Amino acid sequence: MANDRATFGVDLHLELRGGTLRTGLMDALREAIRSGRLAEGVRLPSSRSLATDLGVARNTVADAYAELVAEGWLTARQGSGTRVARRAVPRRPAGTGARPPGGARAAAARPPTARPAYNLKPGVPDLASFPRAEWLKASRRALTAAPHEAFGYGDPRGRTELRTVLADYLARARGVYARPERIVLCSGFAHGLMLVGQVLRARRVREVAVESYGLGVHTDLLTGAGLRLAPLSFDERGTRTEELAAMKDVGAVLLTAAHQFPLGGALNPGRRAAVVDWARASGGLVLEDDYDGEFRYDRQPVGALQGLDPERVVYMGTASKSLAPGLRLAWMVLPEGLVDEVVAAKGAVDWMSSALEQLTFAEFLGSGAYDRHVRAMRLRYRRRRDQLVEAVAAHSPVTRVSGIAAGLHAVLELPPGTEPDVLRSAAWQGLALLGLDRFRHPSVAPALDGLVVGYATPPDSGWAGSLAALCRVLPGRDITDTPR
């Protein structure tokens, strides 16, 4: 028989030390089981396979296995092979366990730290609604049609198949002026922003304007690139982009123009024009985060800011909200003069995103499955939004719901000074919630009390419970009434 270990099954790393081969093997197996490296139920290689790997006689392994079965370390059943036996975990002697700081009374006074029963944090879609069957069909078609070179090191801009269908989709659905050669694919919005931040720094940009309320991870990426931040104030018409004219050191501005995160409004048309005028006059760049632009409920989606001036706006989109963040699929539509610099930066840190996911998404998008999925989810999320608004109105008349024309979250504006108490109450109810203050830029004075409620996050089975838990913690609620 050929000595080919690839035919024998699983690999097992053991170090045999001292004594006879049989004794050394038994000691090594006992130690692997005792230390937890071999967990209960793990199937061991056949005696023939392990003997070949270790270079010992098969009878040596068979005898060692038999002895360990007799001792209770292993089990052996016909057709099931030899496995690690179930063993009781030794109890820790009384009095040796570590006590929480402050003793039992202090531990009881702290909010529970277990995984929350309900989750209304923003930023994640309903993952249970991911279109598995359609995605699998698209994956099979994409793999069947994929050229051999797709499995090699490709264009750092990403697969041309995806960039081509993306250009068509973005022009049709978001009003983006896009050509495939000006699209660069990346592994999520944060990855794209990191690359653009590096390019801005290399261009000697010193300062970037940001919205007063936004995601800290995004501002951290910009400061990590060596850029200073200048927050813009806001009012009922959105971010005050007219302030850019007085910011002499600002070379770029990051905006969520279609649906501001987290406050929820769309940028006023006059202020959209103002930011483009500033970019043209100053030579600056607008970084547009179109993170959930497909989900508009009460009227047609607001078109992308990029359509006003493709040479001054970097459009950045993602499949994280429309499909799932785990896909790590995002894209940038760049001004022509920026493409080579971004590609060079991307090549230095990440040559390209997964070609297989790109090809699958290209097939999914080009077949119309993506449009169908977005339309279905738009209806589902709109129903949830309406249920949220109705429940809050019934249980907490002092709470105003805003930012609901689009997106996957709503802002619940609370009476002044009540946000910390509501968040503490939510923690005790096992409800994961985030307050507005979490998203405030540190240099901006507190102005609003509120909650940022992600109504897309819970699966259908958890939506009613999450909504009921929310109503229980809102101020001015009627505790005898529960949402149905």
What DSSP line would sit under 185-248, residue for residue? Answer: EESSHHHHHHHHHHHHHHTT--EEEEESB--HHHHHHHHHTT-EEEEEPEETTEE-GGGGGG-T
Percent of residues, the chain, with pLDDT higher than 70: 89
Residue 306 has pLDDT above 90, yes or no: yes
Residue 341 has pLDDT above 70, yes or no: yes
User: Which pLDDT belongs to residue 112?
Assistant: 53
Instruction: Tell me the per-residue pLDDT of 391-428, one tens digit each, with 9 for 90 and over.
Output: 999 999 999 999 898 889 999 999 999 999 999 999 99
pTM above 0.85, yes or no: no
Q: Looking at the domain that runs over 129-371, which CATH code has it been given?
A: 3.40.640.10
Alpha-carbon gap, residue 77 to 481, rounded angstroms: 58
Instruction: Tell me the per-residue pLDDT of 260-296, one tens digit each, with 9 for 90 and over.
Output: 899 988 888 999 999 999 999 999 999 999 988 888 8
User: Which pLDDT belongs to residue 109?
Assistant: 43
Average pLDDT rounded to a whole number, residues 206-221: 92
Question: Can you identify the CATH homologous superfamily of domain 118-127+372-473?
Answer: Aspartate Aminotransferase, domain 1 (3.90.1150.10)
Distance of CA 217 to the CA centre of its chain: 12
User: Which pLDDT belongs to residue 113?
Assistant: 53
Structural contact between residues 159 and 137, judged by C-beta atoms closer than 8 angstroms: no
* Burial class of residue 191, CB neighbours in 10 A (0-12, 13-18, 19+): buried
Percent of residues, the chain, with pLDDT higher than 90: 62
Confidence of residue 53 (pLDDT cuts 50, 70, 90): confident
Take residue 133 and report the two structure tokens written for it: 């069957």
Query: Which overall architecture, per CATH, does domain 16-84 show?
Result: Orthogonal Bundle (1.10)
Alpha-carbon gap, residue 469 to 391, rounded angstroms: 11
Domain boundaries, the chain: 16-84, 118-127+372-473, 129-371
Short-list 320, 174, 310, 184, CA closest to 261: 320
Average pLDDT rounded to a whole number, residues 314-321: 95
16-84 against 118-127+372-473: fold identical: no
**Minimum mean pLDDT among 1-5, 92-96, 255-259, 333-337: which range?**
1-5
